Amino acid sequence: MNKRPYAWVRQLAAFAILLAIWEASGRAGLLNPLYAPAPSQIAAALVDLFGSGRIWTHMEATFTAALGGLALGILIGVAVAIVAAMVPLVAELVEPVMTLLNAIPRVILAPLFVIWLGIGTSSKVALAVVLVAVLMFFTVFTGIRQVDQRLVERIITLGGGRVALIRHVYLPSVAAWVMGSLKVAIGFAFTGAVVGEFVAASRGLGYLLSFAQSTYNAALMLAIVLLIMIVVLVIFALGGLLERRLLRWS
Amino acid sequence: MRVRDLSISYGAEPVLEGVDIGVGEGQFVSLVGPSGSGKSSLLRAVIGLQKPLDGSIELDVPSTDIGILFQDDALLPWKTARENVALGLTFRGIKKDEALAQADFWLARLGLAGFENRFPRRLSGGQRKRVALAQVLALKPKLILMDEPFASLDAIVRARVIQDVVALVEREHISVLLVTHDLEEALWLSDTIYLLSQGPHAHITREYNVPIPRPRDLIRARKHPAFAPLYEKLWRDLSREVGAAPRLVASDADAA
Ligand SMILES: Nc1ncnc2c1ncn2[C@@H]1O[C@H](COP(=O)(O)OP(=O)(O)OP(=O)(O)O)[C@@H](O)[C@H]1O
Ligand SMILES: [Mg+2]
């Protein structure tokens, strides 16, 4: 896409105007604060969350679940994909399961994980893992099967063996595919963590959300949504840095 | 290197059938023929990437002394030009620093000084071809198989690269089997030219000797009295092959 220069200036300005209108209509009594609290009220809720310090334990819970689930999900997804690509029998057995898991909205497994693993962190990690691992499995599995055969032949004719093939062709290819779907995976990991907490938990941003819902606290709810957005954007940026570092050849 | 009675098949019908080709030590041999007749397949069979249906391939050099330039060459996109060139050297146990130094040398020889640290994505098609050529030459092969290596180069660069290859091959006494569509190129470079017939069941229909003396110079080679008549003859024979109707129907009848 060809971006016009200073797009962010216009975007920021539009956002500021929107906020101003929103705030003004709130103060003018045009919006019901119960449903649509003004930005200042959301900010106040956010300040209160941090000011009282009670946000940290929730952030920690969600982060642990999401990042743990992300790492574990990538590891499991990539590992299973590699084994499946090398052992036809594994592919035969695993692929239908993955296809099935891919077809259903995987968050419906959340209650099941609560029964199996309790309301602690592990059930959230498990949900994030399932979300991420299935995505990674397909990314890497199809990727390995479509690895550029010319590169494979190039390595062979230059005198490289199996180890060289894995090191110079397969690993970089896998890294590229994993990087390509990292952003989606990060989103999935947080979805898993938050939804898991939403279903049953005693800590976490998802738990806070469900608390806000049960008390009809729209300001708190929007504050948490905002917080999650900021957190994910920061992680995206970090992922982007990593991607640029690892894929600087592309 | 000698190929005897070689047949290659991807399916019911053999692409190549009963092909005989020889490349003597230090000899430059070209293979011309219609598109799809099986020239690339033949090269792939020689380095063992393609299992022949029948026939024998005798190599008088160890397979590590054979270099190949593919038609649709691919460099590792995640390695820079010099890393790509150094790769084969490191496979032979040469230390990385030394391999990179040799890579720079070969890149410079092929006119790519200053491009050492570029990734393939940032090189032109012709530059990539030259990196691939450097990758092969750096290994000091005794036999090089080339599949239309100069096709995507512009006229000037192409002449320069060809002249370089000629000089190198003559000096280092390298044997070459070159696949090309370009008859002029074949005449410039070769001692012997083989003409492959229209496939399927393609085979060698003619063999030409090029009596132009070495060391060769492109401009002077073209003015050699043997050049024009040979060119014309090659052209006529190749046109006849390309124009020949595929023998699909006839051979189906044979099979029945
Ligand atoms: N992997 C393959 N599977 C099936 N058929 C193939 C395969 N590779 C080549 N062929 C067929 O074999 C024939 C010879 O192919 P090849 O690439 O060797 O021709 P070529 O002489 O190199 O052609 P060109 O001059 O266009 O490069 C063609 O008819 C092609 O369709
Ligand atoms: Mg070909």
Q: How far is B76 from chain A (nearest CA, A)?
A: 6
The mean pLDDT of chain B is 87
Q: Would you state the pLDDT for residue B255?
A: 43
Alpha-carbon distances of A186 from A66, A110, A204, rounded to whole Å: 8, 18, 17
Question: Mean of the pLDDT values across residues A64-78?
Answer: 96
Nearest CA to ligand 1 atom 16: B38
- Dist CA A62 CA A125 (whole Å): 9
**Cα–ligand 1 centroid distance for B12 (angstroms):** 14
Neighbours of A80 (CB within 10 A): 21
Q: Kindly list the strands in the beta sheet with B54-58, ordered across the sheet, starting from the edge strand earlier in the chain.
A: B14-22, B2-9, B54-58
The mean pLDDT of chain A is 91
Q: Where are the domains of chain A?
A: 60-246
Sorting pLDDT into bands at 50, 70 and 90, what band is A95?
Answer: very high
Identify the helix (H) or strand (E) that includes residue B177.
strand B175-179
Q: CB of A39 within 8 Å of any CB in chain B?
A: no
Residues from chain B contacting residue A161 (CB–CB below 8 Å):
91
Q: Would you state the pLDDT for residue B248?
A: 46
Assess whether pLDDT exceeds 50 at residue B251.
no
**Cα–ligand 1 centroid distance for A118 (angstroms):** 60
Q: What does the pLDDT look like over A158-172, one tens digit per residue?
A: 999 999 999 999 999
By the 8 A CB rule, do B68 and B145 touch? yes
Q: What does the pLDDT look like over B199-240, one tens digit per residue?
A: 788 889 889 999 988 888 888 888 899 999 999 999 998 888
Q: How far is B86 from chain A (nearest CA, A)?
A: 10
Of A157, A161, A249, the CB nearest to B77: A249
Assess whether pLDDT exceeds 50 at residue B148.
yes
Pick the atom of ligand 1 nearest to B39's CA: 21
Closest chain B residue to A175, measured at CA: B78
Pairing relation of β-strands B143-147 and B175-179?
parallel
Find the angle CA(A35)-CA(A39)-CA(A42) to the nearest 5 degrees.
Answer: 70
Nearest CA to ligand 1 atom 31: B36
Residues from chain B contacting residue A148 (CB–CB below 8 Å):
74
Mutate to test the pocket of ligand 1, among B10, B17, B195 (most ligand atoms within 8 A of CB): B10
Sorting pLDDT into bands at 50, 70 and 90, what band is A1?
Answer: low
With pLDDT > 70 as the criterion, what percentage of chain B qualifies? Answer: 95
Mutate to test the interface with B, among A152, A156, A157 (most CBs of B within 10 A): A157
Q: Which tokens sit at B101? A: 């130094």
- Dist CA B139 CA B65 (whole Å): 8
- Residue B182 in 3-state DSSP? coil
Least confident residue range of A35-39, A89-93, B76-80, B155-159 = B155-159
DSSP string for A117-148: H-SSHHHHHHHHHHHHHHHHHHHHHHHHHT--
Which CATH architecture group holds B1-61+181-256?
3-Layer(aba) Sandwich (3.40)
Question: Mean of the pLDDT values across residues B56-64?
Answer: 87
Question: Mean of the pLDDT values across residues B131-143?
Answer: 93
Please list the alpha-helical segments (H only) found in chain A.
7-27, 39-51, 55-86, 88-103, 110-117, 121-145, 149-157, 162-165, 171-180, 182-199, 205-214, 218-246
Cross-strand partners of B22: B2
Q: How far is B25 from chain A (nearest CA, A)?
A: 21
Nearest-CA neighbor of B31 among B175, B168, B133, B182? B182
Q: Would you state the pLDDT for residue B239?
A: 87
The residue with tokens 């909205």 is: A105
Are the Cβ atoms of A157 and B67 closer than 8 angstroms? yes
Assess whether pLDDT exceeds 60 at residue B247.
no
Assess whether pLDDT exceeds 70 at residue B46.
yes
The domain made up of A60-246 has a fold known as MetI-like fold (1.10.3720)
Mark A219-248 as b/e (b = at least 16 C-beta within 10 Å).
bbbbbbeebbeebbeebeeebeeebeebee
Assess whether pLDDT exceeds 50 at residue A81.
yes
Query: What secondary structure letter does DSSP report for A169?
Result: I
Residues with CB under 6 A from ligand 1: B 10, 15, 35-41, 71, 199
Assess whether pLDDT exceeds 60 at residue A126.
yes
Question: Mean of the pLDDT values across residues A86-103?
Answer: 93
Identify the helix (H) or strand (E) that includes residue B183.
helix B183-189
pTM for this predicted structure? 0.81
By the 8 A CB rule, do B135 and B84 touch? yes
Q: How far is B186 from chain A (nearest CA, A)?
A: 24
Q: CB of A183 within 8 Å of any CB in chain B?
A: no
